[in-house]
Amino acid sequence: MAKAGSELRLDGNGNPVWLLLELTYQCPLQCVFCSNPRNFADYRRNELSTAEWIDVMRQARELGAMQIGFSGGEPTLRKDLEILVAEADRLGYYTNLITSGIGLTDARLRALKDAGLRHIQLGFQSTDKATAHQLAGVDCLERKLGMARAIKAQGFPMVLNVPITRQNIGQIPQIIDFAAELGVEYLELANVQYYNWALLNREQLMPTREELLRAEAQVQEARKRLGERLTIFFVIPDYYEGRPKACMNGWGAIHLTIAPNGNVLPCSQASSFKDLEFPNVRQQPLSEIWHDSPVFNLYRGDAWMPEPCRSCDEKEKDFGGCRCQALLLTGSGDNTDPACSKSPHHHLIQQAVELAQQPPQPTGTLIARHASQGVNLETAP
């Protein structure tokens, strides 16, 4: 169990609520902000089997998990997706598919609905063809537009998820109008979080403060105009907020991510900790991993916190911020998240923000997820 001073709290009453299954890291896209591990090809030959994924879902349900996300990479590249969705529905999960839309067809959408899929989150880059190609690394806009319409035609509740960057932030009014015309229930305009490829491209991707303020005003105007027709979430980068995000409601509090090879992670970015040996569902029961694993207990609660977190009256709101961001920017996950203005490392964030105010460099400097490790768009199902 969690060590003294690190009690689990919040919605799960000490148990996981949300289960994210990263079924595969294969993907037909080459997004310049891809959040998958940069060594994702290493996972390809060791993916869990259908039976192993089903056992993971059963164990997590017994622990108390209620919501399940099927993600990747691109989860539709798994031919057993319908089987997994059907079993998740049978077990009582609320099921959500997180997809690029590439790999979906009308027939497959019908099969997934029949299997019990409740909700779809469709990743989208832009309504402008050139911008979508630039950010996704392949020409996929028309296919995505068609699949967005097909998802709504099947009657699925849907989130249109648009990672916001300097390249598409000026297109927010057009994106909002498209979402409203399509009839989606939710539009998530989430500024990119800077991990993996997004961190490599941070200088080119991060919007300026002025662009963010303009976009926020456009979102507010659209909310008034559209009313209840469309719920719009606008998530600004914590680089501009002065306080860190409450990442996953705290490390090991309510969330479980299972990587394609069966590694169990407190969040999808935790594999950034190269010095940690993550437990694996092939070697240990999930209950034992969740309650007793040194990895999951590492940053639970507040006993691990350094100053200024330990004496901060906001520590129960932000839980010290993101451990992965602290690691990637300061070299140690033990440090206060540098997104916090109280952090002794906050100057690293300030430097990045200052760079973002400069004129953008040529688009050719964007580093795409490596094409040699992806999946051919034309051969995707």
Nearest-angstrom CA–CA distance, 325 and 218? 29
pLDDT-above-90 percentage for the chain: 82
Q: Could you list the residues known to form a binding site, using ranges.
A: 27, 31, 34
Report how far Cα 309 is from the mean position of its chain's Cα atoms. Answer: 25
Q: What is the pTM of this model?
A: 0.91
- Residue 370 is encoded by which pair of tokens? 């490596």
Q: What is the pLDDT of residues 345-378, one digit of tens each?
A: 999 999 999 998 887 766 557 888 874 444 433 3
| Pick from 82, 133, 88: nearest CA to 103 | 82
The angle that helices 81-91 and 50-63 make with each other, rounded to 10 degrees, is 20
Q: What is the pLDDT of residues 290-335, one digit of tens each?
A: 999 999 999 998 999 999 999 999 999 999 999 999 999 999 999 9
The H or E element spanning position 153 is helix 141-153
What mean pLDDT is reported for the chain? 90
Q: Which string of b and e fits 237-275 if b means at least 16 CB within 10 Å?
A: bbbbeeebbbbbbbbbbbbbbbbbbbbbbbbbbbbbbee
Q: How many CA atoms lie within 13 A of 339 on its CB side?
A: 25
Total number of residues shown for the chain:
381
pLDDT band, residue 73 (cuts 50/70/90): very high
Beta sheet of 158-164, edge-to-edge order? 231-235, 186-191, 158-164, 119-123, 94-99, 67-71, 18-22, 255-258, 264-265
Nearest-angstrom CA–CA distance, 262 and 21? 9
Q: What is the pLDDT of residues 214-272, one digit of tens each?
A: 999 999 999 999 999 999 999 988 999 899 988 888 999 999 999 999 999 999 999 99
The pLDDT, as a whole number, for residue 365 is 78
- Residue 57 is encoded by which pair of tokens? 């879902």
Q: Is the pLDDT score of 110 beyond 50?
A: yes
Sign of CA dihedral 152, 157, 162, 168: positive
pLDDT-above-70 percentage for the chain: 92
Mean pLDDT, residues 39-50: 88
The H or E element spanning position 326 is helix 323-330
The pLDDT, as a whole number, for residue 361 is 65
Q: Could you list the residues known to form a binding site for [4Fe-4S] cluster, using ranges.
A: 27, 31, 34
Nearest-angstrom CA–CA distance, 346 and 357? 17
Q: Is the pLDDT score of 6 beyond 50?
A: no
Nearest-angstrom CA–CA distance, 337 and 304? 13
| Pick from 193, 203, 201, 267: nearest CA to 237 | 193
- Residue 229 is encoded by which pair of tokens? 């027709």
Instruction: Report all structural domains of the chain as residue ranges with CATH numbers, in order of start.
Output: 18-240 (3.20.20.70)
pLDDT band, residue 12 (cuts 50/70/90): low
pLDDT band, residue 38 (cuts 50/70/90): confident
3-state helix, strand, coil in the chain (%, to 5): 45, 10, 45
3-state secondary structure of 303: coil
71 contacts 20 by C-beta, under 8 angstroms: yes
Instruction: Please report, as a single letter, which amino acid is at residue 145.
Output: L
Q: Is the pLDDT score of 380 beyond 60?
A: no
First to last CA, the chain: 44
Which residues, in sequence order, are bridge partners of residue 19? Answer: 68, 256
